[in-house]
Amino acid sequence: MSKDTLSVTDNRTGRSYELPVSEGTIRAMDLRQIKTSDDDFGLMTYDPAFMNTASCRSAITFIDGERGILRYRGYPIEQLAERASFLEVSYLLIHGELPTREELDRWIEEVRYHTYVHTNITKFLEGFRYDAHPMGMLLGAVGALSTFYPDAKHIHDPANRHLQMVRLLAKLPTIAAFAFRHSRGLPFVFPDNGLDYIGNYVNMTFSIGGRHQPNKVLQRALEILLILHADHEQNCSTSAVRSVGSSHVDPFSAVSAGIAALYGPLHGGANEAVLLMLDEIGEKKNIPAFIETVKQGSDRLMGFGHRVYKSYDPRATLVKKVAYEVFEQTGLNPKLEIALELERIALEDEYFIKRKLYPNVDFYSGLIYQAMGYPTDYFTVLFAIGRTPGWLAQWQEMLLDKDQKISRPRQIYIGEGKREFVPIERR
Ligand code: CMC
């Protein structure tokens, strides 16, 4: 008869245990009872990089990596990308349901009200070097926001949490735009609250001597990209936000940890790395030689592969579609040809097929950002704007989850045993 349990026999002692299985999972703490003696600590699992460990139960994002499915709160990503606005998706992620017209209008107004930042923020942004990486500026400035809003430490007050989440959603594009202007030596443009979320951000970024003339196709394309990046369950940056947030620090500090994690080339920094890779390849004729260096392990095909997706990343399919819409407006990005050829060759190559390596969300997004006029080192900032509602939704879910405590993994100590201190002259 089938039972929702796992029987374990410890061959060290001959003892047997029956562990409950729930939601396809055993509780790691249930292993602790498996001991060789009374003073044994108990059995642990060793899982570097969390390859097979669920750190939480979550109702936000569903991914089926084998079948290439991504849903936010149950809604397929394809439908949200086609029909929703970014703030609507943000509301959905944070509140769990799509907003009514009234709720959405109120949400949009709240966010609009908080787009301004304290002018002192402009002062320390000015202190960054002219060539400071925009992700470094962003993570520093978002962390610093906690000093402007000391009330943000009241994380157990739902109204306060709501206010800080609105502030983060509202101010991140403003700071991101300021970082862009700083890199170019352009004066900061403050929010124009007559514009919508995306229009305002684009205006703060690109306007020169008057309102930026909007291209609605490009703005919608940017909005779709933000929606596609809005959440992706327990990825590296989200785990960072949850882990740092589990210390009960304020959300500005927790989100700045997420931005730091996203900065890395294996995570959000991959969109920047893809463009650098395409530049390095230079011409189609150099692709086979490049693929060889990847197969020999001295390079990675950036924008390919994913810890969870083992078939085409559904976001990449949508990004590729958006790319063509954008290029109709901006003219073809000449690097597209190299990217397409790279993809074609990789998808036919045994190395990539065997390892189930397909283009991920970052493979084509950089080409779009470049065509829109963003510099390469700025791409990950756009990812961060998109991911902010996901970080916030996950942060709040973590705080409200009775199972959660301060995040604190175990280790297997492999260092020296006890030894006596050796004075410096005898070493
Ligand atoms: N190019 C060449 N080989 C690769 C690649 C790649 N992009 N990705 C994985 N592999 C190989 C890897 O060398 C290993 O081969 P072997 O079994 O012979 O040692 C095998 O595939 C499994 O790779 P892994 O490193 O164990 O896989 P992972 O789940 O730890 O890494 C990843 C996932 C996304 C970090 C990795 O695929 C990668 O580095 N990709 C390039 C960077 C990238 O595009 N990152 C963006 C991810 S999507 C957006 C985001 O999360 O921000």
Alpha-helical (H) ranges within 301-415 are 314-330, 335-348, 350-354, 362-372, 379-400
Residue written as tokens 């003073």?
A: 39
Q: Is 267 a catalytic residue?
A: yes
- Domain-located, residue 131: no
- For residue 305, give the ligand 1 atom closest to its CA: 37
Residue 334: the pLDDT is: 82
- Domain-located, residue 99: no
- Binned at pLDDT 50, 70 and 90, residue 211 comes out as confident
- In the chain, the amino acid numbered 239 is S
- Domain-located, residue 59: no
Token pair, residue 4, equals 């929702």
384 lines ligand 1 (CB under 6 A): no
Q: Is 229 a catalytic residue?
A: no
Q: Which of 114, 133, 229, 267 is catalytic?
A: 267
- Binned at pLDDT 50, 70 and 90, residue 23 comes out as very high
- Binned at pLDDT 50, 70 and 90, residue 210 comes out as confident
Percentage of the chain surpassing pLDDT 70?
100
- Domain-located, residue 325: no
Mutational test site, ligand 1, from 61, 259, 266, 287, max ligand atoms within 8 Å of CB: 266
Average pLDDT of the chain to the nearest whole number: 96
- Domain-located, residue 30: yes
Helix, strand, coil % over all residues of the chain, rounded to 5: 55, 5, 40
Task: Indicate whether 251 pLDDT > 90.
Answer: yes
Supply the residue whose CA is at minimum distance from atom 20 of ligand 1. Answer: 355
CA atoms of 15 and 273, how far apart (whole Å):
52
Supply the residue whose CA is at minimum distance from atom 34 of ligand 1. Answer: 306
Counted domains in the chain: 1
pLDDT in tens, 106-146: 999 999 999 999 999 999 899 999 999 999 999 999 999 99
Residue written as tokens 């390892």?
A: 355
Q: Which of 231, 306, 313, 377 is catalytic?
A: 306
- Domain-located, residue 395: no
Tell me which residue range forms the domain holding 15: 1-45
Task: Indicate whether 286 pLDDT > 90.
Answer: yes
- By C-alpha distance, which of 223, 319, 387 is closest to 215? 223
pLDDT in tens, 7-18: 999 999 999 999
- By C-alpha distance, which of 373, 263, 353, 238 is closest to 301? 353
Residue 333: the pLDDT is: 85
Q: Residue 356 C-alpha to ligand 1 middle, in angstroms?
A: 10
- Binned at pLDDT 50, 70 and 90, residue 311 comes out as confident
Percentage of the chain surpassing pLDDT 90?
95
- For residue 269, give the ligand 1 atom closest to its CA: 52
Are 270 and 303 spatial neighbours (Cβ–Cβ below 8 Å)? yes
Are 234 and 241 spatial neighbours (Cβ–Cβ below 8 Å)? no
Q: Residue 157 C-alpha to ligand 1 middle, in angstroms?
A: 40
- Domain-located, residue 2: yes
Q: Is 154 a catalytic residue?
A: no
231 lines ligand 1 (CB under 6 A): no
- Domain-located, residue 32: yes
Task: Indicate whether 321 pLDDT > 90.
Answer: yes
304 lines ligand 1 (CB under 6 A): yes
Are 326 and 217 spatial neighbours (Cβ–Cβ below 8 Å)? yes
Supply the residue whose CA is at minimum distance from atom 12 of ligand 1. Answer: 355
Work out the angle between the directed axes of helices 379-400 and 362-372 (0-180°, nearest 10). Answer: 130
Q: Residue 159 C-alpha to ligand 1 middle, in angstroms?
A: 41
pLDDT in tens, 69-96: 999 999 999 999 999 999 999 999 999 9
pLDDT in tens, 344-373: 999 999 999 999 999 999 999 999 999 999
**pTM (two decimals):** 0.95
Token pair, residue 229, equals 């990046």
